Amino acid sequence: MEELRALIKAQPRPLSPRIVHDLVQQALTSRHIFSFGELLDLDEISNGRQDDPWIQTLRIFAYGTWSDYVAQKEPANLPDLTEKQATKLRQLSIISLITDDPSVQQEGILKYHDIEKAVGLGEESQLEDLAIDCIYRGLFQGRINSQLHLVEECRLGNVERDVSPAQAVEIEAALTELLNRSQNVLDELEESIKQVEHDAHERNLSVQKYNQLLKTKPKPAVSKTKS
């Protein structure tokens, strides 16, 4: 994050399209930048041409996967990626795979077959090299098991993907629903407390009335017997 901020701050203003493209390419190439939110928030990008190939590629790096890039490359005329950029997008795709697959989170097992589909690499040695690099750099935790063709004890590391606008809407809706449910529970709890207080008050009044009756009730006469 700090590297991205420094990269943005170092650019001359105003940002021309060429500078924007250079800035995007530097961010996509850097081995230390995996979150692109601040770059996407730049006026020159957020208010720029939405069909710009480099801006579209940046959005894929922020929110998408390798499969998204492959699917959109020809229709959107996306630029070719360098080896470093391709590696980073594949790494981001593995992070999404771990994040989005409940079975991986529950069992901690990431199969080579699933990695292959996510990153478009067919050679097992390439998959292992990619996974080892991810583990070494802390992108996710795990242990390579070449015999079983999987990554064991797989857990997310110190990198999280950017939240897309669509995901932000879903999160907001989920939080709103949770807030509403919580408010309903609080309302029901308040009603229960009021009912308990009311019942306690009624019982207290009944006890007071009973005690008052005992005080005002005439005592029975005591007869005296002659000895």
Domain boundaries, the chain: 2-156, 163-216
DSSP 197-216: HHHHHHHHHHHHHHHHHHHH
Encoded amino acid at 175, one letter:
L
3-class DSSP state of 75: coil
Residue 113 CB partners (closer than 8 Å, separation 6+): 149
Q: For the beta carbon of residue 19, count every other beta carbon within 10 angstroms.
A: 14
Distance (Å, rounded) from C-alpha 16 to C-alpha 49?
A: 12
Distance (Å, rounded) from C-alpha 62 to C-alpha 75?
A: 19
Q: How confident is the model at residue 173, as a pLDDT?
A: 66
Across 43-71, b (16+ Cβ under 10 Å) vs e yields ebbeeeeeebbbbbbbbbbbbbbbebbee
pLDDT tens for the chain, residues 1 to 227: 577 777 777 777 777 888 888 889 999 999 889 999 888 888 878 877 778 999 999 999 999 999 999 999 999 999 999 999 999 999 999 999 999 988 888 899 999 999 999 999 989 999 999 999 999 999 999 999 999 999 999 998 888 888 766 665 666 666 777 777 787 888 788 888 888 888 888 888 787 777 777 777 666 665 555 55
Q: How confident is the model at residue 174, as a pLDDT?
A: 65
Encoded amino acid at 40, one letter:
L
Across 180-211, b (16+ Cβ under 10 Å) vs e yields eeeeeeeeeeeeeeeeeeeeeeeeeeeeeeee
